[in-house]
């Protein structure tokens, strides 16, 4: 359930007409509902209320500091994958004791900053990374809290680009090698083993891969215990899918029930890293029709492109696109395309669309996750504004970039002369 609803044929986000926001901030822009974000967090977090856990929102899915603050205010932490995301989380006021840091390519500088910040744990993804953490921690005179991300070789049955838990994927340490790595780590002076972590992919619509990987991880934790290595934290990653177009992913309550059942009597604090399921359907990308044209095909040319929302081009992902006013009008099959000079620049292809005209507004739904956070300046397009609605008020939580921000940091060396 989300808070984008029609009232008298006009799309509202909570109590604000989407067209009123468009009038005020221009287009395109991302629009998020605080009520939906709050409800989604509560549904997820409360599903685990009966066991020790921390819901660490995956910043990569929607990294705006206002969104990070919103979840932190509800008791959540943050799952980060870069020094930049750590900076965002700290700026947003996230408790460092609720920050976990994953990623295969953490630099020594990022590791140092994370340790200085006092984060809960680094999820280590290779032996070489472990060696760097040991060196950095030794230099700082402390013990680095770590868990190891194990790769359980489980098929998450999702898009190949967002599968992470197969042996052929770059992520984690093969579960068959992990015991040796834990034993090595247990002998390192500046490493404190806290947990085991695992994340098998994104947009999972079945519970069974989660359960299968948890079963493998549980078996592994038993082997660790036999070797005298106890853990206090089990990080199960994120990955729960959402409905974009008729998928029927498990509800957070169903997901939690299955996880808790498989966990059995395992006693440790569960870390969960949901991203998409919290923000995906809480956000929309609002765009204006620039032109329509008809030849062999019908095109609706809008002012948002693949640089603003990469998912359709990157994953052939489906997003519902609706007219902001009068949604139930006559339809015609069209491609919805952006202004980018790429044939791959589309938001929808061969889609029955309401017959819209230039200047009308469209809402690209379910765009809250991996929308703005994956956007770029390609074709020198300033990144769009982000707006958060709260009841009948809206707040620009990221200003639209300007042409000046586009060239920020660039310079022309003197030998190239002055130009015209």
Which residue in 3, 14, 45, 79 binds ligand PLP (CB under 6 A)?
A: 79
Which residue in 76, 165, 238, 250 binds ligand PLP (CB under 6 A)?
A: 238
Q: Does 281 bind ligand PLP (CB under 6 A)?
A: no
Q: Does 274 bind ligand PLP (CB under 6 A)?
A: yes
The whole-angstrom separation of Cα 239 and Cα 372 is 19
Q: Does 303 bind ligand PLP (CB under 6 A)?
A: no
Site size toward ligand PLP, by CB under 6 A: 19
The whole-angstrom separation of Cα 68 and Cα 57 is 8
Q: Does 199 bind ligand PLP (CB under 6 A)?
A: yes
Q: Closest Cα partner for 366 from 259, 280, 256, 267?
A: 280
Instruction: Please provide the distance, in angstroms rounded to a whole number, between the alpha carbons at the two ends of the chain.
Output: 56
Q: Closest Cα partner for 48 from 271, 201, 246, 211?
A: 271
State how beta strands 331-337 and 346-354 pair.
antiparallel
Coil, strand or helix: which one is 350? strand
Q: How far is the CB of 312 from ligand PLP (least distance, A)?
A: 17
Q: Which residues are bridge partners to 337 per DSSP?
A: 301, 346
**Residue 54: what are its φ and ψ, rounded to 5°?**
-130, 130
Stretch that binds ligand PLP, among 42-50, 236-244, 262-270, 312-320 (CB under 6 A): 236-244
Q: Does 273 bind ligand PLP (CB under 6 A)?
A: yes
Q: What angle do CA 349, 355, 360 make, to 5 degrees?
A: 95
The answer for residues whose C-beta is within 8 angstroms of residue 220's C-beta and 6 or more apart is: 150, 175, 178, 179, 196
Q: How far is the CB of 76 from ligand PLP (least distance, A)?
A: 13
Residue tagged 């929808």 (tokens): 348
Q: What angle do CA 167, 171, 176 make, to 5 degrees?
A: 45
Which residue in 28, 275, 283, 354 binds ligand PLP (CB under 6 A)?
A: 275
Coil, strand or helix: which one is 290? strand
Whether cis (ω within 30° of 0) applies to the bond prior to 28 is yes
Q: Does 239 bind ligand PLP (CB under 6 A)?
A: yes
For ligand PLP, the closer of residues 235 and 386 by Cβ is 235
By the 8 A CB rule, do 401 and 23 touch? no
Which residue in 76, 172, 195, 237 binds ligand PLP (CB under 6 A)?
A: 237
Q: What angle do CA 370, 373, 287 make, to 5 degrees?
A: 80
Stretch that binds ligand PLP, among 63-71, 198-206, 296-304, 310-318 (CB under 6 A): 198-206
Residues from 33 through 72 that contact ligand PLP (CB under 6 A): 58, 60-61
Q: How far is the CB of 46 from ligand PLP (least distance, A)?
A: 17
For ligand PLP, the closer of residues 59 and 353 by Cβ is 59
For ligand PLP, the closer of residues 121 and 361 by Cβ is 121
For ligand PLP, the closer of residues 170 and 180 by Cβ is 170
Residue 56 among the catalytic residues: no
Which residue in 27, 163, 202, 292 binds ligand PLP (CB under 6 A)?
A: 202
Q: How far is the CB of 171 from ligand PLP (least distance, A)?
A: 7
The contact pattern for ligand PLP, residues 339-378, with x = CB under 6 A and - = no contact, is ------------------------------x---------
From residue 208, give the alpha-carbon distance in Å to each of 176, 250, 268, 322: 21, 10, 22, 33
Q: How far is the CB of 228 from ligand PLP (least distance, A)?
A: 28
Contacting positions for ligand PLP (CB under 6 A): 58, 60-61, 79, 102, 164, 199, 202-203, 237-240, 273-277, 369
Instruction: Report, as residue numbers or ranges, the catalytic residues.
Output: 341
């Amino acid at each position: 359930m989300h808070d984008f609803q029609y009232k008298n044929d006009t799309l509202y986000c909570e109590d604000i007409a989407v067209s009123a926001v468009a009038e005020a901030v221009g287009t395109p822009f991302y629009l998020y509902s605080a009520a939906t974000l709050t409800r989604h967090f509560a549904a997820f977090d409360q599903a685990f209320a009966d066991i020790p856990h921390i819901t660490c929102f995956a910043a990569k899915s929607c990294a705006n500091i206002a969104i990070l603050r919103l979840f932190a205010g509800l008791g959540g932490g943050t799952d980060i994958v870069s020094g930049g995301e750590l900076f965002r989380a700290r700026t947003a006021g996230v408790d460092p004791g609720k920050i976990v840091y994953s990623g295969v390519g953490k630099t020594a500088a990022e590791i140092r900053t994370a340790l200085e910040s006092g984060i809960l744990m680094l999820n280590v993804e290779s032996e070489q990374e472990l060696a760097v953490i040991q060196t950095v921690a030794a230099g700082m005179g402390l013990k680095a809290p770590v868990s190891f991300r194990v790769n359980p070789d489980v098929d998450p049955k999702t898009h190949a680009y967002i599968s992470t838990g197969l042996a052929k994927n770059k992520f984690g340490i093969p579960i068959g090698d992990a015991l040796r790595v834990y034993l090595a780590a247990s002998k390192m002076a500046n490493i404190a083993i806290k947990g085991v972590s695992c994340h098998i992919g994104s947009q999972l619509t079945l519970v069974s891969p989660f359960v299968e990987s948890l079963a493998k991880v549980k078996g592994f934790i038993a082997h660790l215990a036999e070797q005298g290595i106890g853990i206090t934290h089990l990080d199960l990653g994120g990955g729960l899918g959402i409905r974009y177009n008729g998928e029927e992913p498990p509800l957070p309550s169903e997901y939690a029930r299955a996880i808790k059942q498989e966990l059995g009597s395992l006693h440790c604090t569960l870390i969960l890293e949901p991203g998409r399921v919290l923000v995906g359907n809480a956000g929309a990308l609002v765009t204006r029709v620039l032109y329509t044209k008809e030849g062999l095909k019908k095109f609706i040319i809008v002012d948002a492109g693949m640089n603003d929302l990469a998912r359709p081009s990157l994953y052939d992902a489906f997003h519902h696109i609706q007219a902001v006013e009068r949604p139930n009008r006559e339809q015609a099959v069209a491609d919805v395309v952006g202004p980018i000079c790429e044939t791959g620049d589309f938001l929808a292809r061969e889609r029955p669309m309401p017959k819209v005209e230039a200047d009308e507004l469209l809402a690209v739904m379910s765009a809250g996750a991996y929308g703005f956070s994956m956007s770029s300046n390609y074709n020198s397009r300033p990144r769009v504004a982000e707006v958060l609605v709260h009841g009948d008020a809206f707040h620009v939580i990221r200003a639209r970039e300007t042409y000046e921000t586009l060239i920020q940091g660039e310079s022309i060396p003197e030998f190239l002369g002055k130009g015209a």
